[in-house]
Structure 1
Amino acid sequence: MTDEKIEAIQAVVDRVSSYQDGATEGTVAAELRDGFAEAGVDVPAGDVTKLADAIESEHGAVSAAEVLDG
């Protein structure tokens, strides 16, 4: 994954996690998909699920690079 892509993904993750704390996973995943579409970043469904799970479990800062590499 390129640095530019991971930076774009991280920006969306940061935005969604800042205002979706406590939201259901389905809501978080939908907001992530919308954000990625707006940013023009193609993120596979499995990665969206991983990121949504991380946002739900961390309740704070989530590193997209760590979630997607781990």
Structure 2
Amino acid sequence: MSDDALTTDQLDAVQAVVDRVSAYQESAPESTVETALLEGLEQAQVGLDSHQVRLLAEAIEADDGPADAAVVLGG
């Protein structure tokens, strides 16, 4: 495991944030989704880089079913 890999607990926290944002941001612009993700991640005390946040936002906006943080982030 690399130093920047997320722990299981962190990944669970990220998934909870993704699920929450997905539930109420269905038709919001991507920038709003990214902002909501950043706020949720800060509350969960999990740091992701801007690329990772953008990938999660794109997965939420893709409308391909529920976004899976582990799949999106490769964890």
Is the TM-score greater than 0.5? yes
Match of 1:10 in 2: 15
Q: Percent identity?
A: 46
Structure 1 vs Structure 2 CA RMSD? 1.4
The unaligned stretches of length 5 or more in structure 2 are 1-5
Normalised by the length of structure 2, the TM-score is: 0.87
TM-score computed with the length of structure 1 as normaliser? 0.93
Q: Which structure has the larger Rg over C-alpha atoms?
A: 2
The answer to which structure has the higher helix fraction is: 1
Q: Which runs of 4+ in 1 moved over 4 A?
A: none
CA-CA distance at 1:59 after TM superposition:
5.8
> When the two structures are aligned, how many residues end up with a matched partner?
70
- Gapped regions of structure 1 (runs ≥ 5): none
